[in-house]
Homo-oligomer: A and B are copies of this chain.
């Protein structure tokens, strides 16, 4: 049994980690970390967990936790892990970080977009960017720190990766128009996230400055071998879970629909958690709800010479806790889908 600790177990991603790890046959949660609810029963915070996770929430003593846990998941605010992470922690345990602290390789870009001084830039190089289907080969038993990708980022990158990698589109023309459920905004008590403010409305936010932008640019930049700039516009949708990204880019000369399909099939046909839908069927977030699946399809628009890609996932699972557990499975040599085989809940 893998002994797992969670720091930040009472946020929405944290709760999802608890839920997935509770059903995972090879793990045992030994630490429900929550500064805000320290000393309270976890199931008093999340009453769905009554008689399932009746342990007491613990504080953020990462040094102590590192001695007890085989792996620590951190689902904490930006900057927090970089601040508390020490060398001795990394000597004792593995870290899978759901925050953005170690996702960007360029610390300057991190500090510019997040407006935070990075406390452990020396560890950035060591961290593996845990986009499982792309980077699983970079994870091995010596890996100590995995930067779990963002939710929007996973949706966008996975939708565009084969096209960028194989030169099917001009990366400088990429526009990602993404739509997210409200759990992505977190569990903080903010007026803007009240039911009466969110329901029956849709809005764009973070236009031109959302912090997942450089993460998408960096990863797609690796795919095409040079720096790129994209447009990324997130929207808030009155639903709890799910992200749908509609991405646009200019086709490169000679690229047609059939060629793109061959490429995407080649990239994804053996990926359990990536489903390339059949021609003419496009992702809907509900097809992936409560599962680790990421659905993709595309269409060329010959009138304007563009590719349109639609990709969708559950932001709390493949976009956060599910992918984190998938990374844990890779890290510990388990079958990658262990504990993640749940069927999407369409209704």
Contact = CB atoms under 8 A, between A and B. Distances in A.
Contact of A285 (B12, B23, B203): B203
A215 B86 CA distance: 60
A214 B58 CA distance: 43
A264 to B, nearest CB: 15
Contact of A284 (B49, B203, B285, B347): B203
A197 B186 CA distance: 11
Contacts of A166: none
A118 to B, nearest CB: 22
A222 interface: no
B194 A229 contact: no
A230 interface: yes
Interface in A190-227: 190-191, 193-205, 207-208
A275 interface: yes
Interface in A138-154: none
B240 A195 contact: yes
A220 to B, nearest CB: 14
Given A22-B343, A281-B47, A201 B308 contact: no
A67 interface: no
Given A194-B193, A233-B308, A343 B52 contact: yes
Given A194-B195, A347-B12, A201 B19 contact: no
Interface string A243-268: 01010100000000000000000000
A194 B343 CA distance: 22
A202 B289 CA distance: 11
B200 A241 contact: yes
Contacts of A344: 48-49
Interface in A292-316: 295, 299, 301, 303-304, 306, 308, 310, 316
Interface in A116-157: none
A341 interface: yes
Interface residues of A, number: 82
Contacts of A310: 204, 207
Contacts of A23: 341-343
A175 interface: yes
A309 B23 CA distance: 31
Interface string A168-203: 000010010101011100010111011111111111
Contacts of A46: 346
Contact of A202 (B15, B179, B189, B248): B179
Contacts of A233: 177, 246, 308
Nearest to A177: B177
Contacts of A282: 203-205, 207
Interface of A: 12, 15-16, 19, 22-23, 46-52, 172, 175, 177, 179, 181-183, 187, 189-191, 193-205, 207-208, 229-231, 233, 235, 237-242, 244, 246, 248, 275, 277, 281-291, 295, 299, 301, 303-304, 306, 308, 310, 316, 341-347
13 contacts: A12-B196, A46-B346, A48-B287, A48-B289, A50-B275, A182-B199, A187-B196, A196-B240, A199-B240, A201-B242, A201-B289, A231-B308, A248-B248
